[in-house]
Structure 1
Amino acid sequence: MSNTLTQTWYMTQRQLMAIARQPAYLLITLIQPVVWLFLFGNLFKKVVELGGFGTTSYLDYLVPGIVVMSALGSSMWTGMGTLEEIERGTLNRFLVTPANRGALMNGNVVQNGISIVVQSVIIVLLGMLGGAEYPGGFGGIVILVAASVLLGTVFGALSNALGMVVRQRESIIGVNTFLLLPLTFLSTAFMAPAQMPGWMRHIADFNPLNWAMVAGRSAMSADPDWGDVLTRGGALLVLAVAAVWLSTRSFKAYQKSV
């Protein structure tokens, strides 16, 4: 077990070093959430007057949505890194070593989780500078970040599995483009459930993106609903375990094909 964790951390470090060498990529991943946060925060700030948001400040409501949405957006591209490893032949070279196969496959998922933590903290701090308040305190923020990491693990692992199966950049781009907007807008990212059409509200109940938002928002409120936090968080955890298992299975299938 300890050997598996050590190897996973080694693979994670490889991914972190690769990202550190791309300052432009880091800048873009931070700029996009800021644009969403302050552009939408100012454009729709009066929408809270409709009621149902649980706050008088739209920015308070929006911050958890942007945190979770950013986690989804970054994790859905994890499979591109796996595909790049395949195209360069790096992954195949690792296959002739005794390295743990789970570590080879999930190193970039762990790296993505670390990136989500950093990105989420920055968004929360920027929201605070913009005037957002978090009645749930530090504990609520931790739960929001944890929910975002679980969501990122789900879609990062699924993206890895997709990369293993299709092995084409165009297919990954197409799937991500197709899923990103529906998952985002069929959730409570920008609008309170009470203001959504009934059919959208019912679909949001089955949307993992929305599970993370509900858990995070509830934990950050002045009066958290711990039932919501535990049920949504638990569902995300189960889904994350299943996605990692599927990712590992797809890697074993790839290994047999080379």
Structure 2
Amino acid sequence: MSTAIPQTWYMTQRHLMVFARQPAYAVITLVQPVIWLFVFGSLFKKVVGLGGFGTGSYLDYLVPGVVVMSALSANLWAGMGTLEEIQRGTLDRFLTTPVGRGALMNGNVISSSLVTALQSVVIVLLGLLGGADYPGGVAGIAVLVVASMLLGTVFGALSNALGMLVRERESIIGINTFLLLPLTFLSSAFMAPGQMPSWIRHAADFNPLDWAMVAGRSALSADPDWSGVGIRAGALLALAVAAVWLSVRTFRSYQRSV
């Protein structure tokens, strides 16, 4: 335990340095959220007239959805980085060092979570510039960012496990593409639950993406349902712990195969 934390932080810094050296990538990842916020948001701004959105502004409703969707989209590709390190032999070289196996995997996940937090804050600020209102204030924004980080941890860890299992770019791309749209549209990302078909509404109840969105929206509202926020945040935390455990177990399986 005494060495696990500094080793994990070292590996986290290593991944963050790679991100810092690619500022263009950070800008490009914000293109899609901007399109969702200002193009899609403007196109469907009158949909709030249907009722059930809890706000008179569609942008207010959309911002938490875009934050969470961006966290999902970014972290689904974490396995590609793991796969590149396997193919370059970098991961195998680390296996000859005293670095803990958990640190090798968790450094990637933690760095992705920190990048997700930064991206989430930028999207919230963009929404604010566009006229979004956050009655929940700083506390509500913090809950939304933490929810997006937990969701990112879930799918980042699962993506790492997937990268070690399939070890093929095409397989990762195919699986990610298959998951992204169903997870997005079987949620309340764009539409109030009361306006959705009943089967989609029930499917959303089991969708971690929706848990993060509902927790974030509630925390940002003028009258948050903190018990509901706590339940969904706790479910995300439990899922994140399970995903990280699975990722580490998969890595140990990979280690035995080399």
In the other structure, the counterpart of 1:177 is 177
TM (normalized to structure 2)? 0.99
SS at 1:188 equivalent: coil
In the other structure, the counterpart of 2:56 is 56
Q: Is structure 2 residue 90 aligned with structure 1 residue 86?
A: no
What amino acid maps onto 1:132 in structure 2?
A
- Give, in angstroms, the shift of residue 111 of structure 1: 0.8
In the other structure, the counterpart of 1:119 is 119
What amino acid maps onto 1:7 in structure 2?
Q
What amino acid maps onto 1:51 in structure 2?
G
In the other structure, the counterpart of 1:188 is 188
In the other structure, the counterpart of 1:17 is 17
SS at 1:53 equivalent: coil
Work out the CA distance in 2 between the residues paired with 1:193 and 1:2: 47
In the other structure, the counterpart of 1:3 is 3
Q: Is structure 2 residue 121 aligned with structure 1 residue 108?
A: no
SS at 2:187 equivalent: coil
* Residue-by-residue CA offset, 1:168-227 (whole Å, 9 max, x unaligned): 111000000000011000000000000000000000000000000010000110000112
Gaps of 5+ in 1: none
Q: Which runs of 4+ in 1 moved over 3 A?
A: none
- Give, in angstroms, the shift of residue 119 of structure 1: 0.3
In the other structure, the counterpart of 1:146 is 146
What amino acid maps onto 1:71 in structure 2?
A
In the other structure, the counterpart of 1:215 is 215
Work out the CA distance in 1 between the residues paired with 2:86 and 2:255: 11
- Give, in angstroms, the shift of residue 67 of structure 1: 0.3
* Residue-by-residue CA offset, 1:47-96 (whole Å, 9 max, x unaligned): 00000000000000000000000000000000000001101100000001
The more displaced of 113-122 and 17-26 is: 17-26
Q: Is structure 2 residue 69 aligned with structure 1 residue 69?
A: yes
What amino acid maps onto 2:18 in structure 1?
A
Work out the CA distance in 1 between the residues paired with 2:90 and 2:160: 15
Gaps of 5+ in 2: none
What amino acid maps onto 1:192 in structure 2?
A
Work out the CA distance in 2 between the residues paired with 1:173 and 1:26: 20
Using the aligned pairs only, state the percent identity.
Answer: 75
Work out the CA distance in 2 between the residues paired with 1:108 and 1:223: 36
Work out the CA distance in 2 between the residues paired with 1:50 and 1:43: 15
What amino acid maps onto 1:186 in structure 2?
L
Work out the CA distance in 2 between the residues paired with 1:256 and 1:203: 38
In the other structure, the counterpart of 2:128 is 128
What amino acid maps onto 2:203 in structure 1?
I
- Give, in angstroms, the shift of residue 39 of structure 1: 1.0
- Give, in angstroms, the shift of residue 36 of structure 1: 1.1
Q: Is structure 2 residue 237 aligned with structure 1 residue 227?
A: no
What amino acid maps onto 2:27 in structure 1?
L
What amino acid maps onto 2:134 in structure 1?
Y
Work out the CA distance in 1 between the residues paired with 2:227 and 2:40: 30
Work out the CA distance in 2 between the residues paired with 1:24 and 1:122: 15
- Give, in angstroms, the shift of residue 9 of structure 1: 1.1
In the other structure, the counterpart of 1:29 is 29
What amino acid maps onto 2:9 in structure 1?
W
In the other structure, the counterpart of 2:165 is 165
- Give, in angstroms, the shift of residue 18 of structure 1: 1.1
What amino acid maps onto 1:109 in structure 2?
V
What amino acid maps onto 1:3 in structure 2?
T
What amino acid maps onto 2:211 in structure 1?
W
What amino acid maps onto 2:119 in structure 1?
Q
In the other structure, the counterpart of 1:257 is 257
What amino acid maps onto 1:75 in structure 2?
N
- Give, in angstroms, the shift of residue 25 of structure 1: 1.4
- Give, in angstroms, the shift of residue 30 of structure 1: 1.4
What amino acid maps onto 2:165 in structure 1?
V
What amino acid maps onto 2:34 in structure 1?
V
